[in-house]
């Protein structure tokens, strides 16, 4: 099944980190001018602000808040650090509720000082400890499987299958998955696992950007859609086949793009979006 053609910007969401140099207010204003309809807010952009008021201001620009980014980072060798992570995630739930963001994206975490298996167990325990508060506030938790190159410190959940299995094992309407083409494009099981994710009601979010070839930095060398080698239309078609009808969230970390004029970059995001 091919992806539906993109004829407007009604499903275009941008993560505030994508236009890193802009404040939350600048981002909201400029996204509106460009016709963008969704925004995912990274927590650092809320610093020093009244969060509820920030949410109202964002919505006054005609933007829907898609998610708060990011919770997670549950695993740690030290029990004290695991407890601190839980506290931070409970705080994130409160922030999401104040912002009226319906979902938190979880970068689950990993600690190179222990086995991946142990980290995975701690991730599940962490999610289950935060879940009652998330349910109480009506905030969903989206497990984001991260590329295997981040298995040392960022996430021990590295495939969509693992994320699906964890969401299914927890078995709550408030726990699902955020699928990002950057992390998953190489996976031979991607279509099958996207369909499974959708079938089980767990496909909460869909993130897009591109894989530069070559990629020169582990973190901040992601490409604009079309700059790299990911077949985004095919993967988006699979997400739609899985029943996904939410926002396409543009999440690009790029020293190269951050160094340039952000309005020009935003224009490029919009034009490349039509072809992804």
Residue ranges in contact with its own copies by CB under 8 A: 112-113, 115-116, 120, 147-149, 151-153, 158-159, 162, 185-188, 211, 213-216, 218, 228-229, 231, 234
What ranges in the chain are assigned the alpha helix state H? 24-34, 51-60, 79-99, 116-137, 160-170, 181-184, 190-199, 232-241, 255-258, 262-273
The minimum distance between CB 79 and its own copies, in angstroms, equals 20
Beta carbon nearer to its own copies, 16 or 155: 155
Beta carbon nearer to its own copies, 189 or 264: 189
Query: Dihedral through CA 262, CA 227, CA 183, CA 28, nearest 10?
Result: 20
The minimum distance between CB 149 and its own copies, in angstroms, equals 4
Dist CA 5 CA 167 (whole Å): 30
Beta carbon nearer to its own copies, 151 or 195: 151
Beta carbon nearer to its own copies, 187 or 193: 187
Q: Which two tokens stand for residue 191?
A: 């279509």
The minimum distance between CB 199 and its own copies, in angstroms, equals 21
Length of the chain: 276
The answer to whether the CB of 220 falls within 8 A of the CB of 255 is yes
């Amino acid at each position: 099944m091919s992806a539906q053609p993109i004829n407007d910007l009604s499903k275009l969401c941008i993560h505030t980190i994508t236009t890193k140099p802009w404040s939350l207010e600048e981002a909201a204003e400029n996204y509106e001018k460009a016709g963008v309809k969704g925004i995912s807010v990274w927590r650092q952009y809320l610093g020093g602000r009244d969060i509820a008021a920030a949410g109202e201001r964002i919505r006054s620009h005609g933007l829907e808040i898609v998610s708060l980014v990011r919770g997670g980072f549950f695993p740690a060798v030290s029990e004290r650090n695991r407890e601190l992570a839980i506290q931070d995630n409970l705080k994130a739930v409160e922030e999401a509720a104040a912002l009226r963001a319906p979902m938190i994206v979880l970068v689950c975490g990993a600690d190179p000082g222990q086995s991946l298996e142990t980290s995975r167990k701690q991730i599940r325990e962490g999610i289950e400890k935060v879940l009652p508060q998330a349910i109480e506030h009506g905030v969903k938790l989206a497990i984001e499987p991260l590329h295997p190159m981040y298995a040392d410190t960022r996430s021990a959940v590295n495939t969509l299958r693992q994320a699906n299995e964890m969401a299914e094992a927890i078995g709550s309407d408030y726990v699902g998955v955020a699928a990002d083409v950057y992390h998953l494009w190489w996976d031979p099981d991607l279509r099958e696992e996207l369909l499974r994710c959708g079938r089980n009601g767990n496909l909460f979010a869909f993130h897009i950007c591109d894989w530069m070839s070559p990629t020169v930095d582990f973190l901040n060398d992601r490409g604009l859609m079309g700059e790299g080698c990911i077949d985004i239309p095919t993967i988006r078609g699979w997400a739609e086949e899985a029943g996904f009808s939410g926002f396409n969230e543009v999440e690009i970390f790029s020293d190269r793009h951050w160094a340039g004029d952000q309005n020009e970059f935003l224009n490029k995001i919009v034009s490349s979006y039509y072809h992804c």
